[in-house]
Each structure stands twice: as structure tokens, then as C-alpha cells.
Structure 1
Amino acid sequence: MPDSAELLSLHVVVEFVVMAAIVALLVPLDAAIPFLPLAVALAFLVVLYLARS
């Protein structure tokens, strides 16, 4: 069973992915483009952290 730190990290990743999807759908694409790579990078960093621990 995963510990609370892993569950929190997973929650953060899901939150960023969902928020990026909402921003991509609701905001014009020209305004949303700078935020999408940031959300992907943060999700990738959390996944890397989980893989190392």
C-alpha cells in the first residue's frame, strides 16, 4: 500500500493535469500555451521523484 507522501504526490500530479486540461479548453490557445509546458514539467518532476524514492 502506498504511503501518504506517494498519495499526495499522485494527487498533485492529477491536479496539475486536470487544471492544464481545463485551462487548455476554456482559455484561448494563445494565452494557455505558456502554462501547458509548466504543468507537464511539474508532473514529470513529481513522477521522477516517485521513481527515485
Structure 2
Amino acid sequence: MLKMANPIEVVSVLIALEFVVMSVVLLVVVPLEVAAPIIPLLLVFLIALQLYRS
């Protein structure tokens, strides 16, 4: 049986997802040299979202 997600977990996942989406948009719009500092944090959030999903 599925359990309901904690509201704090939902907010955390939504914030991480928003950061990932905005980072990808930033990587597409600006030159890579400018957006390079966000890549490690983007990877951390992507891994965290994948682990949360599984």
C-alpha cells in the first residue's frame, strides 16, 4: 500500500525539481563558461531526485 508523502518532503522535492529545471534552461540559454559553476549542484540534485524516486 502506498503511503502519503510528508508535506515537507513534497516541498523539498518541488524545490529541487525547480532548481534542476531552471539550471537546464540556464545551460541552454547562456554560454557554458558562465553556467559551469552550477553543474556540480545540478548533478547533486539530479542524483537526489533519482534516489528519492526509487
TM-score computed with the length of structure 1 as normaliser? 0.69
CA distance in 2, matches of 1:30, 1:12: 25
Aligned structure 1 segments of 4 or more residues deviating by more than 4 angstroms:
none
Unaligned runs of 5+ in 2: none
Q: CA deviation at 1:36?
A: 1.8
How far does residue 19 in structure 1 lie from its aligned partner after superposition? 1.0
Residue of structure 2 equivalent to 1:29 = 32
Letter in 1 for 2:43: V
**Partner secondary structure for residue 5 of structure 2:** coil
Unmatched segments (≥5 aa) in structure 1: none
How many residue pairs end up in the alignment? 48
Q: What is aligned with 1:3?
A: 6
Say which of 23, 32, 49 aligns to 1:20.
Answer: 23
Higher gyration radius (CA): 2
RMSD: 2.3
